[in-house]
Structure 1
Amino acid sequence: MLPRRLSTVAAAVIAGAIGLTVRPALAQDAPIDNLDALFFAMKQCWHPPRLPPGHPGMQITVLVSFKRNGEILGKPRITFESPEAGRDDSLAYRVAVMEALQRCTPLPFTPSMGGAVAGRPFTLRFDDRRQSPKPTEKRAWLTTTTS
């Protein structure tokens, strides 16, 4: 028997392959009526890939348009990835971004917001750069000695 998480992932992949939409409840199901709420909703849907400790993470940007009803219009396109990312990292982040879009859509736009965003391209940046611990610096002016 497959573990529960693996079976859920398998079901999502199969549903995506045959064109079904799998959409768990959003953290925010209130109607979206401004751009801040749109970006907040997308942020809530994105789960960066798990990385080993010390991995720097990366940035990825996607260009996407929405229909009036909050569905994705056309195909989202990756427009930027951190240049230092390897092929495996790049693939993991691309999958995470596309899963976020699938998880989040259709977005619950208000009629006025739907009319305002319909067909317009949005550039969404997903930033998962992780801060490395800063090296301990020894400043010359703090360690002066007098003879």
Structure 2
Amino acid sequence: MRTTAGFSAIIGTLLAMPFAANAAPLNTMEEVGAALQACWTPPANSGNATVTLSFSFKRDGTLIGPPKPTAIKVGGDDKARQVYVDAATAALRNCLPLSFSPTLAQGMPGKVFTLQFNSPKDNAKAIQQ
């Protein structure tokens, strides 16, 4: 009986979680940046760090290939930098797929976007190239 009750609790928790597919469609790149930043949690003790990721979307809100770090400003050694890049990449991956409005989705393929992940979190910048 405990297994069934535990399983039911997990299912109930999963059903209560917001999924991107159920979210209202995003209409602007500012909304896309805000949605992605909502998933961002800087690593602990990262100080005043920044990593910029470059990526492209498909119309369905998934990525065309993996994101690429294009600028990394993180104090510490290579391991500290990698932890920060991994956290930014995970934040992006965990937010997908996004739901784009038809108008926004039409202009997505083939465009490269960059998103800057900052610590502290409130200094975020999203840039469309």
Same fold (TM over 0.5): yes
Aligned pair partner of 2:117 in 111, 126, 133: 126
Q: What is the CA distance between 1:56 and its match in structure 2? A: 2.2
Structure 1 contact 61–78 (Cα < 8 Å) conserved: yes
Identity of aligned residues (%): 30
CA contact (8 A) 2:54 2:67 kept: yes
Alignment partner for residue 39 of structure 2, among 39, 45, 51?
45
Give the RMSD, CA atoms, in angstroms.
Answer: 2.2
Q: Normalising to structure 1: TM-score of the pair?
A: 0.63
**Secondary structure of 2:99's match?**
coil
Matched, 1:64 2:64: no
1:110 maps to which of 74, 98, 101:
101
Give the secondary structure class of the aligned counterpart of 1:45: coil
Q: CA offset at residue 57 of structure 1?
A: 3.3
**In structure 1, how many angstroms separate the alpha carbons of the residues matched to 2:41 and 2:18?**
14
Going from structure 1 to structure 2, the CA distance change for 1:47 and 1:103 (only over 3 Å counts) comes to same
8 Å CA contact retained: 2:51, 2:74:
no
CA distance in 2, matches of 1:85, 1:60: 14
TM-score, structure 2 normalization: 0.72
Counterpart AA for 2:28: N
Following TM superposition, the consecutive aligned residue runs of length 4 or more in structure 1 with deviations greater than 3 angstroms are none
- List alignment gaps of at least 5 residues for structure 2: 1-16, 122-129
The offset of 1:83, in angstroms, is 5.9
Which residue of 2 is the match for residue 14 of structure 1? none
* Separation (CA, whole Å) in 2 of partners of 1:29 and 1:50: 29
Q: Which residue of 1 aligns with 2:82?
A: 91
